[in-house]
Amino acid sequence: MTIMIQDPQTVIAPETNGKTQTYELNPFAIAQRQLDEAVEILELDDATHEMLRWPMRELRFTIPVRMDDGSVKVFHGYRVQYNDSRGPAKGGLRFHPQETIDTVRALSAWMTWKTAVVDIPLGGGKGGVTCNPKELSMAELERLSRGYMRRVAGFIGPETDVPAPDVYTTPQIMAWMRDEYEAIHMHQAPGIITGKPLELGGSAGRGDATARGGIYTTREAAKVLGIELRGATAAVQGYGNAGFFGHKLGVDILGLKIIAASDSKGGVYNADGLDYDELAAWKQETGSVINFPGSTFISNEDLLELDVTVLMPSALENVITAVNADRIKAKIITELANGPTTPEADVILHDKGIYVIPDFLCNAGGVTVSYFEQVQNAYNFYWTEDEVHVRLDQKMTSAFYNVHEMAERMDVHNRLAAYLVAVDRVAKAMKLRGWV
């Protein structure tokens, strides 16, 4: 099949009748389309619909950073507060070379639905910087992180908007940002940011929370489908934090056999399974999973189409589209990434009987434990890791069945069901406040 990339946000692919079809890949346009479908079913009024389609507030700015060679480089930064009707905005910070205002808008929208679907008293926000952190020294990264906080320090706060780590950001970056915020405001504010190191008010259990929540929902999906996961095969597309812990916890909790994993440079395959400790050590040493001893190379595209029980897309947006959805063979798709599946692909996968655990349900473990961190910061008392795991399991399991039962009752695919649950909660909060 020949696929034409017209621009980074559009794919043109042939249909079965020989004609071509254009598919919109702009993440914010996709988020709006997903919302529109839910709004139509919920029969919300026009004002509520319009409020839900757009961010309430957004900030765009430049960050001049003195580089190690003495030059100054200017970076572009963003912070979007999408909707705070249910509580302070909450959402991560991404340092990524392809970051745009539309990716941040989309992710802030998905954060709004994510906090609502797991029923925690927060809204949705997101932030980012267009940069490649792999090309920055630690000193440059610290100056960029502090520069970002100087730009948003008057825009965020524990009771208004609380950032957290996301793609290519770390607990160390959160620590620098907390310190910068406190220097500006001249008081301690541990709740200004989550995903911090434990020594600075972080929560036990935060490191693997995104993947752990996804693993809990995968466990429940297998129950409703009658699938035995112990010994079943799985593939992980994207081997960052979420992908690595998806691998580890998929083995430790579910007994899965991970036969393929990939990163931006390509993937590795071994029918007998990949050891997560050895693979993580190899990536740490070499910078990529490729050429892992005992494995064969597999492309990211071929990995997605493997005949496995569980597929874990754990990288970036729009990897499962109308172009390749019909070739997906997994029984369960555990969406640890944000926005990996386009609306057209959702319909195809649903018709094929593939059970998709939608991103803003599946990967909500991260924001849930971030919320737990905020709670612990607020009363300066901290839980054990076991307590965090128990509370997270309760939240994720309850949210899973709310979405699953909505899908069954309304006869819709799971992503639409998750939207119906979340959007209804946000719309009711706005109406109770008298906004609409």
The residues annotated with a catalytic role in the active site are 126
User: Whose CA is closest to 244, among 315, 163, 349?
Assistant: 315
Would you give the DSSP letter of residue 193? -
Task: Say if CB 34 and CB 356 are below 8 A apart.
Answer: no
Environment class of 414 (CB within 10 Å of its CB; exposed 0-12, middle 13-18, buried 19+): buried
For residues 408 and 84, give the distance between their C-alpha atoms in angstroms, rounded to a whole number.
29
The CA-based angle 143-239-217, given to 5 degrees, is 110
For residues 263 and 252, give the distance between their C-alpha atoms in angstroms, rounded to a whole number.
22
User: Whose CA is closest to 169, among 98, 240, 235, 106?
Assistant: 240
Q: CA 20, 333, 34, 111 torsion: positive or negative?
A: negative
Using DSSP bridges, classify how beta strands 124-130 and 89-96 pair: parallel, antiparallel or unpaired. parallel
For residues 80 and 261, give the distance between their C-alpha atoms in angstroms, rounded to a whole number.
32
Task: Say if CB 259 and CB 237 are below 8 A apart.
Answer: no
N- to C-terminal Cα separation, the chain:
48
For residues 214 and 328, give the distance between their C-alpha atoms in angstroms, rounded to a whole number.
19
Task: Specify the length of the chain in residues.
Answer: 436
Q: At what angle do helices 101-117 and 27-42 cross, to 10 degrees?
A: 40
Query: 114: alpha, beta or left, given left = phi > 0 and alpha = psi -120 to 50?
Result: alpha
User: Whose CA is closest to 355, among 314, 311, 313?
Assistant: 311
